[in-house]
């Protein structure tokens, strides 16, 4: 059987660039090389696409750009004279069969690059344009979850324009809607970047100003005393949920530092939760995934209120961190799917989604 050519895409212009480098490094190390040829394509923080062929550790440490081959043409736009794929200096051409974006945050999991993949007409791992954009936008996603009757903590929102125009009025409205402590989040960002916790109005003002550095719209949520639990989801039409895992943050809450920089944060896998609650969380995770028309993978985050055991959905992440020690693959490992097999399943799901779409719209198509 011929090997499948996979283009592993990493980096990007978002604030989660470094997280992406770690995800891509792990994927490259653990992907089945007997089954897949892997071509690594990096996107710089300035948005330049470069082909890289060298020590994979240079991807992780960020030095890959220094030795990237700037003379290799990466063509993802259909033209009359050029095929879709990678064209080398010596004239050799490699067709891309599947795209694997190990990209997080804006321009990577918000539907932007997924639109390019759709135009390229190549199978790609993960959610499509709509589900990626909805999943990335915390505010829109909350509205979708409301329609699906998925329980959430109380929330409100504001915009940069409104806050700058009438700060006092906005603050009063927020304090009327929800009470302290209040979590402040940019509407479009991942990895807990720009998130803060306010215990009073001074904190609230500072938190809003911080969040507005990253987005023009922000979400404000009622803080509750809760356990933080996450579930991994896998599938297209037929969707499965992993065992849940619990986060014990090193800090007061699970911000960027607690996730990636502070080794004192702990992941309890599987979470020590009653079976009834586990079933409810897994069902809610699948329902949330289907509500945004998800495909491939997502990680769904929940709160379990400590004094009541009430379950609240927090958010869905359509391209979660994907190192071999990240929560998403670790949860599947605990459920019975190894990291390498998980990569393989995601690629096969991408191909199936593509062929199903082709059968529906074009009659037939296949990956050669």
Choice among 191, 232, 242, 298 that is catalytic: 191
Question: 265 a known binding residue?
Answer: no
* 299 appears as a binding residue in the annotation: no
Q: Is 227 annotated as a binding residue?
A: yes
Strand duo 93-95 + 98-101: pairing: unpaired
C-alpha to C-alpha distance for 323 and 259, rounded to whole angstroms: 13
Q: 């082709």: which residue's tokens?
A: 358
In this structure, the number of other CB atoms found within 10 A of the CB of residue 8 comes to 25
Check whether 224 is labelled as a binding-site residue: yes
Q: Which helix (H) or strand (E) holds 275?
A: helix 275-291
Q: What dihedral angle (degrees, nearest 10) is formed by the CA atoms of 22, 24, 27, 29?
A: -80
* Annotated binding residue 203: no
Cα distances (Å, whole numbers) of residue 172 to 176, 262, 292: 6, 35, 33
Q: Is 16 a catalytic residue?
A: yes
Does 164 count as an annotated binding residue?
A: no
Is 210 annotated in the active site? no
* 266 assigned binding-site residue: no
Active site residue 26: no
Is 18 annotated as belonging to a binding site? Answer: no
Cis ω for the linkage preceding 181 (within 30 of 0): yes
Residue 26 annotated as binding? no
Judge whether 185 is annotated as a binding position: yes
How far is CA 98 from each of CA 36, 91, 155, 208, 267, rounded to the nearest angstrom?
10, 21, 39, 40, 32
φ, ψ at 36 (rounded to 5°): -130, 135
Which of 14, 16, 246, 298 is catalytic? The answer is 16
Q: Please tell me whether 12 is known to bind a ligand.
A: no
Catalytic member of 26, 232, 298, 326: 326
* CA separation for the pair 350, 100 (Å, rounded): 9
- Check whether 222 is labelled as a binding-site residue: yes
Enumerate the known binding-site residues: 138, 183-185, 191-192, 221-228, 301, 314-315, 317
Residues labelled catalytic: 16, 191, 326
Enumerate the known binding-site residues for ATP: 138, 183-185, 191-192, 221-228, 314-315
Enumerate the known binding-site residues for Mg(2+): 301, 315, 317
């Amino acid at each position: 059987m011929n090997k499948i050519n996979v283009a592993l895409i990493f980096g990007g212009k978002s604030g989660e660039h470094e997280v992406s480098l770690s995800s891509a490094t792990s994927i490259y190390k653990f992907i089945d090389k007997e089954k897949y040829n892997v071509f690594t394509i990096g996107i710089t923080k300035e948005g330049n696409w470069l082909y890289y062929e060298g020590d994979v550790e240079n991807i992780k440490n960020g030095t890959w750009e220094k030795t990237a081959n700037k003379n290799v043409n990466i063509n993802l736009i259909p033209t009359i004279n050029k095929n879709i794929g990678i064209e080398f200096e010596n004239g050799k051409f490699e067709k891309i069969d599947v795209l694997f974006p190990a990209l997080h945050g804006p321009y990577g999991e918000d539907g932007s690059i997924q639109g390019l993949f759709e135009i390229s007409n190549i199978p790609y791992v993960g959610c499509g344009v709509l589900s990626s954009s909805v999943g990335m936008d915390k505010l829109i996603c909350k509205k979708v979850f409301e329609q699906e009757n998925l329980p959430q903590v109380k929330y409100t929102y504001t915009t940069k324009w409104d806050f700058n125009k009438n700060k006092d009025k906005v603050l009063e409205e927020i304090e009327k809607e929800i009470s302290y402590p209040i979590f402040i989040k940019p509407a479009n960002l991942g990895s807990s970047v720009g998130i803060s916790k306010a215990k009073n109005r001074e904190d609230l003002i500072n938190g809003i100003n911080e969040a507005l550095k990253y987005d023009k719209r922000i979400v404000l949520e009622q803080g509750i005393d809760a356990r933080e639990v996450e579930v991994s989801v896998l599938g297209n039409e037929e969707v499965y949920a992993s065992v849940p895992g619990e986060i014990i943050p090193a800090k007061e809450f699970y911000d960027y530092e607690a996730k990636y920089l502070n080794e004192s944060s702990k992941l309890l896998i599987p979470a020590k939760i009653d079976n009834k609650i586990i079933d409810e969380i897994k069902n809610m995770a699948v329902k949330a995934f289907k509500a945004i028309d998800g495909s491939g993978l997502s990680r769904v985050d929940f709160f379990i209120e400590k004094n009541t055991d009430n379950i609240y959905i927090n958010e869905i992440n359509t391209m979660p961190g994907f190192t071999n020690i990240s929560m998403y693959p670790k949860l599947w490992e605990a459920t019975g799917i190894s990291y390498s097999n998980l990569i393989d399943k995601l690629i096969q799901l991408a191909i199936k989604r593509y062929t199903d779409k082709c059968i529906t719209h074009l009659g037939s198509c296949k990956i050669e």
